[in-house]
Structure 1
Amino acid sequence: MTGGLPIRQVAFFVEDVRAAARAHHEAFGSGPFFVADNIPLARAVHRGVERELDHTSAYGQWGEVMVEFVAQNNPGPSPFRDLYPEGSGRWGMHHVAIFVDDVDAELAKFAARGAPCALRAEMNDGFVFAFADTTATMGLFAELYAPTKTLVDFYAMVAQAAKDYRGSDPIHTIRMT
C-alpha cells in the first residue's frame, strides 16, 4: 500500500509520556526525548465525526527510527481509544508513521484496500496528518504525513540530538503551535 516507503516512526500509546520515555531511554538508550504537551489541533475528524483530540507526545530517536510516546489528555473516542479503549488500562504499540506525497490521495488508496480513514487532523499551521485503520491486517494504525520542511527539520533535529547526547536529562519540554 505504501509503495515500499520506509517506516519513519514507531509510536506507543501510553498513560504518561515522560515516564514511558524515561523507561525506554533506560532500557534501550533511546532519546533524548522532546515532549510537546497539549498539541494544538485546528481540526480533528475521527471516523467522520469532528471531535476534540487533546494529546501529548514525546519524540526521541531509537537507532535509525524515531520513537513516539503519545497520551490522550481528554476523554472520548479517538484512534488511540479505538485500539486501547478508555478505562481498559491497556497500553502499547499504536502506529507506524510514513511520509507520503499526498495524504488524502494515500488515504484513498488505503481505504480502497479496506483500511479506512480513522483520523484526519490539521494542526494550527495547516500541517495535516492522518491515521489509516490497518489494524485488521497489521494490528496497528498507519500514520501518514507529507514531508514538509518543518517536519523534515524536526526529524533531523531529533536525530542530531541523539548523536550529540552526552547523558544529561533525557526529557526536554518543547512547544508546538
Structure 2
Amino acid sequence: MQQAHRRPIRQVAYFCDDVRAAARAHHAAFGSGPFFVADNIPLARAVHRGTERLLDHSSAYGQWGDVMVEFVQQNNSGPSPFHDLFPEGSGRHGLHHVALWVDDVDAEIARFAAAGAPCALRAEMNDGFVFAFADTTATLGHMTELYAPVPSLTGFYAMVAEAAASYDGGELITTIAFS
C-alpha cells in the first residue's frame, strides 16, 4: 500500500451552479484549461451515506498548472455528497474535494472510516470504474475523492494535461461523453 504522505493531490474540485460558466471564470482568472465538459455523467450505482440514490451531475475538467481542476454541478435535487457541504437551495458553492489515486478504493474507504472520515459516497460508472468520497470535512474542510489509477483514468488525465500544454487560445470548452 502507498504511504499516505506519498499521495499527491491529483485534482482540486469545486461545486458550482454552472460548470461552463465556472470554467470560463477560472480560465479568465488563472489561465487554466482548456476544459472538457461531460454532461449528465452516467452512473451504474451511487450509494450516499449507505443509501442508494440517483446522482445526476455534470463536470468540467481542465488543467491548472500541475493539477487537474474540476467544476461539478448537481443536476437533480436531493441528498448527495455535494449537498452535504453545500445545502440544496443555499446558493453556496466552493471547494468540494481533492482527489487522490489509491491502490484499492474499498480498502482506502475502510482506512479513512477507521480514522474518522466516513464514506460519503461510493459510486460506480457504467464501465465499472469506482470512485468514492471520504468525508474529511471535520479535519480538512472538504471531501477527499479516492480512485485507482486504471488506464482509462490515467489516459484521461494525460489527455487533459496534453491539451493544456498545446492550447493555443482556441475553443475553451469541448463537450465529451462518458459511456
Give the TM-score normalised by structure 1. 0.99
Instruction: Summarize the alignment of residues 106-125 of structure 1 with structure 2, pairs less than 5 Å apart.
Output: 106-125=108-127
Shift of 1:3: 4.0
Query: Percentage identity across aligned positions?
Result: 75
Residue 26, structure 1, aligned to residue 28, structure 2: yes
1:61 corresponds in structure 2 to 63
Helix, strand or coil for the counterpart of 2:4? Answer: coil
Shift of 1:4: 2.7
What's the CA shift string for 1:42-89, capped at 9, x where partnerless? 000000000000000000000000000000000000000000000000
Instruction: Summarize the alignment of residues 89-108 of structure 1 with structure 2, pairs less than 5 Å apart.
Output: 89-108=91-110
Q: Distance in 2 between matches of 1:139 and 1:16?
A: 22
Helix, strand or coil for the counterpart of 1:125? Answer: coil
Partner AA of 2:126 in structure 1: N
Helix, strand or coil for the counterpart of 2:6? Answer: coil
Instruction: Summarize the alignment of residues 1-177 of structure 1 with structure 2, pairs less than 5 Å apart.
Output: 2-177=4-179
What's the CA shift string for 1:120-159, capped at 9, x where partnerless? 0000000000000000000000000000000000000000
Extract unaligned runs of 5+ from structure 1.
Answer: none
Q: Distance in 1 between matches of 2:5 and 2:54?
A: 32
Helix, strand or coil for the counterpart of 2:87? Answer: coil
After superposing on structure 2, the runs of 4+ consecutive aligned residues of structure 1 that deviate more than 2 Å are: 1-4
Shift of 1:169: 1.7
Q: Distance in 2 between matches of 1:45 and 1:158?
A: 28
Q: Distance in 1 between matches of 2:92 and 2:107?
A: 33
Extract unaligned runs of 5+ from structure 2.
Answer: none
